[in-house]
Amino acid sequence: MALEPFAGAASDRRGRDLSELRLSIIDRCNYRCPYCMPADQIDEKHDFLSPSARMSADEIETLVRAFVRVGITKLRLTGGEPLLRKDLPELVERLARIEQIEDLALTTNGSLLSTHAQRLRAAGLHRLTVSVDSLDPAQFAELSGGRGKLAEVLAGIDAAVAAGFSELRINCVIQRGVNEDQVLPLVEYFRDTPHVLRFIEFMDVGTINGWSPQAVVSAAELRAQISQRFPLVPAAASRAGTTASRYRYVDGRGEVGFVASVTEPFCSDCGRARVAADGQMYTCLFASKSVDLLTPMRSGEGVDQLSERIAGIWTAREDRYSELRGGRRGEPLPVRVQMYTVGG
């Protein structure tokens, strides 16, 4: 049954409409990537949620339907590593049946994709994003905390294509002095494919990843480096609210994107909300606080009441952390939610 939109679609104090939900369905991961979940900072017995503290499939569907009432049309499932959730195919199938969700996507490290791709496609998932930070097997393993195997991820990408995911997004976080040498190898590997490689500036999400401005390789630097070898021109402008600036190769052999949250902030048209696996809602990737949605659900609130609650949270929103970061002039940055909690 179709749902009516919330009366007076939610718009925040800066005029940004709520349009997209990034939903973490599990906080655990089988990798320990240093920029997200560094092994020396994580206590596996105490830093993750118990199963009862995570939202159930019923609760997730109720929550998504409430967000739909407030205006979202895009839903991205994240983690942790979402493929670790045992009921994932059934959950995707339930969410895919919500008519107003025009774009249902999932972000994964790809390590388990070979065994899940077919079921996810059959369940109704629209799109996949896979993280690949290096094409050197040894470096790839190091960048995953010693847990990842490059061959498994590349096999997962092939399995996704065979399952019917014709165009994947391939995300790569470049850090100065770490994997700068992988930019051109990644470009060469993916540019003759239908997949879109996206380079992401190293961001100060959370407080445990050792971020510093000096470690950021800017999107401008990356574009210049790539263009020297494979000339680029801007692609058609992306719609408002998208995170990546798009460029195409002059020779017509593909496209590459750049997510420049640090050097080219896009706060002004951000319409993304985030909800962690325990039902905590964050109005910014760099948020210092959250609002609990799970307790009201477990106390009996349904779609109507939750949509009212979500609208109230969003209309009070003023976040623009990335625009303000550069003006702090050495001041300590505020405590921020950890990346693995909200899935990036």
Work out the average pLDDT over 1-11: 57
User: Residue 3: is its pLDDT beyond 50?
Assistant: no
User: Residue 111: is its pLDDT beyond 60?
Assistant: yes
Identify the CA nearest to 169 among candidates 271, 79, 256, 269: 256
Helix (H) or strand (E) run with residue 76 in it: strand 74-78
Q: Is this prediction's pTM over 0.85?
A: yes
- Which residues lie below 8 Å from residue 227, measured CB to CB, with a gap of 6+? none
- Which residues lie below 8 Å from residue 226, measured CB to CB, with a gap of 6+? 183, 184, 187, 232, 256
- pLDDT band at 44; cut points 50, 70, 90: confident
pLDDT of residue 9: 76
- Which residues lie below 8 Å from residue 43, measured CB to CB, with a gap of 6+? none
Contact of 246 with 255, CB cutoff 8 Å: yes
Work out the average pLDDT over 98-106: 96
Alpha helices in 20-84 (DSSP H): 57-70
User: Residue 6: is its pLDDT beyond 60?
Assistant: no
Instruction: Compute the chain's Rg from CA coordinates.
Output: 19
pLDDT of residue 40: 85
pLDDT of residue 338: 82
Identify the CA nearest to 126 among candidates 168, 82, 63, 84: 168
Domains and CATH numbers, the chain: 20-342 (3.20.20.70)
Alpha helices in 110-230 (DSSP H): 113-123, 137-143, 150-163, 183-190, 219-229
In the predicted model, what is the mean pLDDT of the chain? 91
pLDDT of residue 209: 79
CA distance 149 to 304: 45
168-205 residue pLDDT tens: 999 999 999 999 999 999 999 999 999 999 999 998 88
Q: Rounded to the nearest 10 degrees, how much is the dihedral formed by the CA atoms of 197, 262, 38, 142?
A: 40
Identify the CA nearest to 305 among candidates 70, 72, 66, 98: 66
Report the alpha-carbon angle 307-268-13, nearest 5. 45
User: Residue 230: is its pLDDT beyond 70?
Assistant: yes
Work out the average pLDDT over 30-43: 87
Contact of 152 with 111, CB cutoff 8 Å: yes
CA distance 190 to 204: 27
- CA separation (Å) from 39 to 35, 50, 72, 96, 147? 10, 19, 35, 34, 10
Q: Rounded to the nearest 10 degrees, how much is the dihedral formed by the CA atoms of 174, 19, 83, 29?
A: 50
Query: What sign does the dihedral 55-58-60-65 (CA atoms) show?
Result: negative
- pLDDT band at 323; cut points 50, 70, 90: confident
146-166 residue pLDDT tens: 999 999 999 999 999 999 999
239-279 residue pLDDT tens: 655 778 999 999 999 999 999 989 998 889 899 999 999 99
